[in-house]
Amino acid sequence: MYTAQGRIKQSELLTQYMPLVRRQALTLQVRLPASIELDDLIQAGMVGLLEALGRFDAAQGATFATFASQRIRGAMMDELRTRDWLPRSVRRSARAVDDAVRRLEQQLGRPPEEGEIARELEMPLSDYQQLLNDTNSGKLLPFEEVIADGGEPAGDDTHRQPFEQLLDEQQRQTLIDAIEALPEREKLLMALYYQEEMNLKEVGAVLGVTESRVSQLHSQAVSRLRARLHETN
């Protein structure tokens, strides 16, 4: 892969790692709104791969595969952050949900039920569930970015990984505890979606609910986690 001068043969690496770009794009696409085109993710990923080719320094100790993977994913996330498809009114409503969940947990000493959250927000249950659908459709995943930015687009921060920004040693245990405190169905949903990497349809089949209901439960679980993490800050 190297010339006599020790430089990477970029054309060979570009060909070798193009399938990685497509795999990462496919993995990310299933967790995003249907309006996000696969080709757009691939195009952004290729920019990241080209950037990796230009910046890789073997003397830093990391393998090119690791370095390229991070740059590819980072470029895709940067592209998604430029698409602020969630209206400001929905963002405000999402923050209102977080606040309501936090208040109710303090009052009740347990995770509030959907009906209780809807009453706290002074809206019908059907309107609250629609709000959950609306807020979930605008969130960038994986969920460490959702929790970290509180519903607002995250900054680049020189391509640091989201977990490096959020999960320092003190916050790591707090997040684990917050996940454990979720209602059982929401905790199972998070495990299936993030650990098992199932899509919404697959998660719905396991839980026996529709994709729309999975979306609602996911949004509600994220609000619970953000509320719990906010209490510790």
Q: Which of 83, 114, 130 is where one domain is finished?
A: 83
Q: Give the rounded distance of the alpha carbon of 97 from its chain centre.
A: 18
**Residue 111 host element (H or E):** none
> For the domain that residue 96 is a member of, what is the CATH number?
1.20.140
Range of the domain at 37: 5-83
Q: Give the rounded distance of the alpha carbon of 139 from its chain centre.
A: 7
Query: What is the tens place of the pLDDT at every residue in 141-163?
Result: 454 454 444 444 344 443 444 44
Q: What is the pLDDT of residue 114?
A: 94
Query: What is the tens place of the pLDDT at every residue in 78-117?
Result: 887 776 556 677 778 888 999 999 999 999 999 999 999 9
**CA atoms in the 13 A half-sphere facing the CB of 83:** 18
46 and 76 belong to one structural domain: yes
List the Cα angle 50/54/57 in 5-degree steps. Answer: 130
**Average pLDDT value for the chain:** 77
Please enumerate in sequence order all residues whose Cβ is within 8 A of that of 66, keeping only pairs 6 or more positions apart, or say none: none
pTM over 0.85: no
Q: Which of 83, 101, 120 is where one domain is finished?
A: 83
Helices 200-207 and 211-232: angle between axes, nearest 10 degrees: 90
